[in-house]
Structure 1
């Protein structure tokens, strides 16, 4: 651990923040009109993507609003990893009408886009003005989140991620302004998720739970949700991969994803996410997939500084018994994370098709960007830039 900084101790006072309203269960998305009415809102902008528009799911949402005498406008040109340019285009669309709220309908990208639009619509400026270490607590437009994937947990977090396409930097934006006032968590929306998306978002949610639990900012409130999320996700991840229409497993994954979002929103993520964002920005690897590429290796690196915490994660996954020692439980955890990647066909960066010379050349830049994001500072071992570079080399083709 030479060169590593000691883990910081979290203050005894911790902040807990949740959406004001949560509707959870099959069919919850159909209650959007009632939720808007209860909040005194009537002029929504729905932010979604082209796939959901063409699938007919957006029209179903709009039909439900019409039954509540609410008319909505739809922006469906979000991109898989939101960029500053895509947010500017959406903001221009938002400003064409007098909207009093923003509805994020989709996976992490539409919901993250909705969050950024809601803040810029009220406070102005550019996305880069709001990146960490800036904290945006002053509210923008109210945000209502309806997730269609079980992974990001963005419906319950006070964060959003936007890529600056001019610098290939994934900008973390944080603050209470990004926390939705309401979330409709409807697992039935995930029944049509394809296997690759199911795997990547599922491992993303598992990463959220683990990192929230081992974070330096972990607290008794976040711990409850982190462990509950891990317990829900671990036995059901393979089930939804093997049988996409397994409703019981889909419901558990959706609930676990939301719980993991609550956990990391109130504790923060750590090194996996810090290293993941540059991979996504430079090589356009989907966020959940880049987390999956990193999770086993970073867990093995970090575990010596938080033996009890990582061992408890193994027990929550039901892969280690209560009477098993910490070292043995952690070995089981690292082996299980590698096995999940193998069974769910998670490629290494090399197998993904990334150019090896470009990967090697960008390692120093990615390491600096990872540190600048702030997330590695919450890791059990706070790494140096050199250690992060070593981890990037290690995951190239483990």
Structure 2
């Protein structure tokens, strides 16, 4: 079997790597970068610091700070206008998953035009786009290394998965020092997001030898460090390990796929405006319990990488221990339920059939070890409510 592998062609990894941004831009042959970020990172001064560095290097840089959490098609309009007005020849996505996904979407729309819904899955997008450099400030989404972007359709509230090498960043700068100020809740949610990427990449029906090694390494690293960064955000060793693991998990799922957790998570985020990593964390234990029967041996390997099972343990026992470990992890990280967040049960139940259909339409559940029906997805939504 032949596996197609796609990676950013330039990765700069390590503390202080962000200072090399001007060199990375120049290495792409670009001279007019547009920094895509949000008001928070403008407020911290980080966006301004990078703009100054680009300008002092002789580059004609500009800023778009109109990124919103869980970017929407409406939020892209001003961004496309600014890309064209600046005559940008590359984009720099700075932030968590939302600014990075926004940069990818703008890079394609500015060249190809049309509406983002024209590019949603199952379409495989390989057409031209501006080169993108991604700089993550959270250890979670892995968007700096993936050929995916997620944009919510403002008209329908559908969280659209858009795929293909047109969305693959040309370069990424992975600097763990940018995550040192992350608060505990964001640290937990993005960390579980990365763990979900790794596990789903490994158990996916599209898993391969290349993605397997990265996924298992990420699982092992995250299991050893996620509680450390949650309890002490200034633990530099743990922060560095989590940042690297998140990128490894991103590369793994970009070259394999995610599965049912992500398929179900996107509609929750779209309809209830919850952070992507948080909705993943809410779903992860229950969906894993539902899925283990379809790939018991694969889940058992995840359990061994996680450190809750040994080589001599039967696969069934090991897979069960993984489910238990995920339940304990979410408890230790104080992952809330939809009910505890104040989401009304009637509204949750009312939207469950639509969310189930949207989950299936994304294609991700089709990669799951157990391919669910719409009714089974609705039951899983009911399970996690409280």
With the length of structure 1 as denominator, give the TM-score of the two structures: 0.96
| Contact 2:35-2:51 at 8 Å conserved across structures | no
SS of the residue aligned with 2:60?
coil
Q: Which of the residues 219, 224, 230 maps onto 1:235? A: 224
Q: What is residue 215 of structure 1 aligned with on the other side?
A: 204
> Secondary structure of 1:255's match?
helix
Higher relative contact order (CA 8 A, sep 6+): 1
Instruction: Show structure 2 runs of 5+ residues with no match.
Output: none
Can you list the C-alpha shifts for 1:347-366, whole angstroms capped at 9, x where unaligned?
01111211111100111101
Matched residue, 1:4: none
- Which of 85, 96, 101 is residue 96 of structure 1 equivalent to? 85
List, as ranges, runs of 4+ consecutive aligned residues in structure 1 with deviation greater than 2 Å.
none
The aligned runs of 1:286-305 (5 Å cut-off) are: 286-305=275-294
1:349 maps onto 2:338 in alignment:
yes
Cα-to-partner distance string for 1:135-191 (whole Å, 9 max, x where unaligned)? 111120000000000000000000000001211100010010100000000000000
User: Are residue 60 (structure 1) and residue 49 (structure 2) matched?
Assistant: yes
Counterpart check, 1:83 vs 2:72:
yes
Match of 2:158 among 149, 166, 169: 169
Structure 2 CA distance for aligned equivalents of residues 338 and 64 of structure 1: 45
Q: Determine if the alignment matches structure 1 residue 245 to structure 2 residue 220.
A: no
Match of 2:257 in 1: 268
Correspondence for 2:16 = 27
Q: Does 187-196 or 130-139 show the bigger shift?
A: 130-139
Provide the secondary structure at the position in 2 that maps to 1:14: coil
* CA–CA distance in structure 2, aligned partners of residues 135 and 304 of structure 1: 30
CA–CA distance in structure 1, aligned partners of residues 9 and 221 of structure 2: 23
Q: CA deviation at 1:37?
A: 1.1
Q: Deviations over 1:75-127 (max 9, x none)?
A: 11110110000011211121212110111000000000000000000000011
Question: Which residue is equivalent to 1:387?
Answer: 376
Partner of 1:311: 300
In structure 1, what is the equivalent of residue 326 of structure 2?
337
- Alignment partners' CA distance in 2, 1:275 and 1:385: 11
Cα displacement (A) at 1:39: 1.4
- Indicate yes or no: 2:110 matched with 1:121: yes
Partner in structure 1 of residue 63 of structure 2: 74
> How much has 1:66 moved relative to structure 2?
2.6
Q: Structure 2: how far apart are the matches of 1:307 and 1:97?
A: 53
**Retained in 2: the 8 A contact 1:28–1:184?**
yes
Establish whether residue 199 from structure 1 lines up as the match of residue 199 from structure 2.
Answer: no
Tell me the distance in 2 between the aligned counterparts of 1:168 and 1:97: 30
CA contact (8 A) 2:151 2:159 kept: yes
Contact 2:263/2:364 (8 A) holds in 1 = yes
Paired with 1:366 and 1:34, the residues of 2 have a C-alpha distance of 44
Cα deviation digits, residues 337-384 of structure 1 (max 9, x gap): 111111111001111211111100111101000000000000000111
- Give the C-alpha shift of residue 239 in structure 1: 0.2
Query: How far off its partner does 1:335 sit?
Result: 1.0
Does structure 1 retain, via aligned residues, the 8 Å contact 2:225–2:241?
yes
Alignment of 1:156 with 2:141, yes or no, is: no
> Corresponding residue for 1:8?
none
**Could you tell me whether the CA contact under 8 Å between 1:198 and 1:241 is conserved in 2?**
yes
User: Structure 2 length normalisation: TM-score?
Assistant: 0.99
Return the alpha-carbon distance in structure 2 between the equivalents of residues 396 and 327 of structure 1: 27
Cα RMSD for the two superposed structures: 0.8
Q: What is the CA-CA distance between 1:63 and the residue it aligns to?
A: 2.3
Aligned to 2:312: 323
Deviation digits for residues 190-227 of structure 1 (CA, Å, limit 9, x no counterpart): 00001111000000000000000000000001111111
Structure 1 residue 67, shift from structure 2 partner: 3.1
